[in-house]
Structure 1
Amino acid sequence: MHMPSPMALLVIAIVVLVLFGRGKVSSLMGEFGKGITAFKKGLNDGTSEANAERTAVVEKPAQPVQPVPGTEARDVTPQNEPRL
């Protein structure tokens, strides 16, 4: 897809200005700018909110696992195989 030439853009701008008038085009561009500003603000708010949640999560330190009495580790190597 290629960009239209500057001359084509100028012709389109003149046609839009003639059809809608300067006041209407001006107000539409103002609303368009407000929309873009609100969109960017929403993105920044979402990003900062995600970062705040990420920093607020405090990891619990891992507690050591206590063995159940009577289940101590046993040597389960068969007696007829050599140990490595």
Structure 2
Amino acid sequence: MMPSWTKLLILLAVIVLIFGTKKLRTLGSDLGSAIKGFKKAMGDDDKKESDNDADFSSAQKSDGLENNQNNDKKE
């Protein structure tokens, strides 16, 4: 069961009165930078793993072009 909008607004007002807007703003920016750092770290891990993988896509494409050219010459 979801609380009503009025209850949520009252709860938000109480939180602002207890902590103050400056403390909440600092907390929000710290949380945002932590999430950015986490996403960056996860992206770097994916990039490092993909650097170790072999890339056969260009080799397959060039082989396919050569095969198509040879087929064209036979006809």
Q: CA RMSD in A?
A: 1.9
Computing the radius of gyration over CA atoms, which structure comes out larger, 1 or 2? 1
- Residue equivalent to 1:33: 32
Q: Give the whole-Å Cα distance in 1 for the aligned partners of 2:48 and 2:3.
A: 40
CA shift in 2, pair 1:8/1:54, >3 Å: farther
How many pairs were matched up? Answer: 55
Q: What is the deviation of 1:53? A: 1.3
Runs of 4+ in structure 1 over 6 Å off:
none
- Residue equivalent to 1:10: 9
**Structure 1 gap ranges (5+):** 57-84
Per-residue deviation, residues 12-34 of structure 1 (Å, max 9, x unmatched): 22111110001000000000000
Please report the TM-score for the alignment, with normalisation by the length of structure 1: 0.55
Please report the TM-score for the alignment, with normalisation by the length of structure 2: 0.61
- Residue equivalent to 1:23: 22
